[in-house]
């Protein structure tokens, strides 16, 4: 297959591109390489892909419909579009909500329109567990997610319903994958596991918002990439959770980090943030049934691999500026 993959220099986009290339697909990757977090880690990810003859990269923003159209005209025959480009981060979305809607909602609309115009049959959207705020756990895809508590979640809801419109009106085959707290090597510097490792190594205090008992369904990035690629199959219109199916508290995560780093963390506790969820937990029975997918990497093994990557790359990772 020839696949247009947006957000290819992002954490999950990069790992998904690796998986697609391993399976022999042609990947046309685009990214705007924005500076929401330190772009040096995006450049590192991109360099690991550029040597593959089946990979091409273009610096393009999905908000730029004209540039996207030129790309579609040049390549003509995409078999699928995988939209993993997004403005991420719950708290920053409160400070700058507009860019979340122009990227996550309008950018998705640009891609959907071009899929319609150029006859692309398959569309995959990366979405988020943040939509499940206030819902009973474990979170099932059938729950009404009509009460988002951040502009980020609201923008992703907008993208999801736009996908349904294009499925209904034009027969576009759509898979929406809702990710649950993804972590792993070369992760996002704004996410807790990256920040904790970075600060513990530097002997700096880490910040925990709340008492540390809030829990997340942490999911290793390789498992997420595997499920994302599996979701390329013809499916009609489906929303599918991809999560670890086993929530852990931040305190438990911290204990594992201290174990593999061999040093204690200095912790500063802050007030719990209003836009955060107290807990997440994915029901993954639908992913198992439709995709034959379930996570393979335990939290302990995933953290061991992540700490190992940090140690092997610390000569340049130590210079990354945290958001």
Contact criterion met (CB below 8 Å) for 215 and 279: yes
Give the model's pLDDT for residue 171: 98
Specify the pLDDT at position 53. Answer: 98
Q: Is the pTM of this model over 0.85?
A: yes
pLDDT of amino acid 277: 78
Encoding tokens for residue 96?
């700058």
Marked catalytic residue, from 92, 132, 152, 166 = 152
Q: How far apart are CA 79 and CA 213, in angstroms?
A: 44
Region of residue 145 (phi > 0: left; psi between -120 and 50: alpha; otherwise: beta): beta
Other beta carbons within 10 Å of 76: 9
H runs (alpha helix) in 119-203: 151-170, 192-201
Q: How far apart are CA 189 and CA 42, in angstroms?
A: 11
pLDDT tens for each residue of the chain, 323 residues long: 999 999 999 999 999 999 999 999 999 999 999 999 999 999 999 999 999 999 999 999 999 999 999 999 999 999 999 999 999 888 889 999 999 999 999 999 999 999 999 999 999 999 999 999 989 999 999 999 999 999 999 999 999 999 999 999 999 999 999 999 999 999 999 999 999 999 999 999 999 988 888 999 999 999 999 999 999 999 999 999 999 999 999 999 999 999 999 999 999 999 888 777 789 999 999 999 999 999 999 999 999 999 999 999 999 999 999 98
CA gyration radius, the chain: 19
Structural domains present in the chain:
2-184+217-246+278-297 (3.40.50.720)
Q: Which residue has the tokens 């995709």?
A: 291
3-state secondary structure of 57: strand
| Helix (H) or strand (E) segment spanning residue 46 | helix 39-50
* Catalytic residue status for 152: yes
Look at residue 278 in the predicted model and tell me its pLDDT: 85
pLDDT value of residue 261: 98
d(CA 284, CA 294): 7
Are residues 211 and 287 in contact, defined by beta-carbon separation less than 8 angstroms? no
| Residue 291 CA to its chain's centroid (Å) | 19
């Amino acid at each position: 297959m020839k696949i247009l993959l947006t957000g290819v220099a992002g954490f999950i986009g990069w790992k998904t591109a690796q998986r697609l290339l391993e399976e022999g697909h042609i990947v046309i990757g685009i990214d705007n390489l924005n500076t929401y977090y330190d772009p040096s880690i995006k450049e590192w990810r991109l360099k690991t892909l550029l040597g593959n003859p089946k990979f091409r990269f273009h610096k393009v923003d999905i908000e730029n419909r004209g540039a996207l159209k030129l790309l579609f005209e040049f390549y003509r025959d995409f078999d699928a579009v995988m939209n993993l480009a997004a403005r991420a981060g719950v708290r920053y979305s409160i400070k700058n909500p507009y860019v979340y809607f122009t990227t996550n909602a309008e950018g998705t609309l640009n891609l959907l329109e071009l899929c319609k115009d150029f006859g692309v049959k398959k569309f995959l959207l990366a979405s988020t567990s943040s939509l499940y705020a206030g819902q009973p756990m474990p979170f099932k895809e059938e729950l009404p997610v009509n009460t988002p508590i951040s502009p980020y979640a609201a923008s992703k809801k907008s993208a999801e319903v736009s996908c349904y419109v294009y499925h209904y009106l034009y027969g576009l085959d759509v898979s929406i994958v809702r990710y649950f707290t993804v972590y792993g090597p070369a992760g996002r510097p704004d996410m807790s596991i990256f920040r904790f490792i970075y600060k513990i190594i530097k002997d700096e205090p880490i910040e925990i918002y709340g008492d540390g008992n809030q829990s997340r369904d942490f999911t290793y990035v390789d498992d997420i990439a595997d499920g994302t690629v599996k979701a390329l199959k013809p499916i009609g219109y489906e929303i599918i959770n991809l999560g670890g199916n086993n929530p852990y508290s931040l305190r438990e995560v911290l204990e594992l980090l201290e174990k593999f780093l061999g040093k204690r963390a200095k912790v500063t506790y802050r007030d719990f943030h209003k836009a955060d969820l107290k807990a997440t937990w994915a029901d993954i029975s639908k992913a198992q049934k439709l995709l034959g997918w379930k996570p393979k990497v335990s939290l302990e093994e995933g953290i061991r691999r992540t700490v190992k990557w940090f140690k092997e790359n610390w000569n340049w990772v130590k210079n990354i500026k945290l958001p």
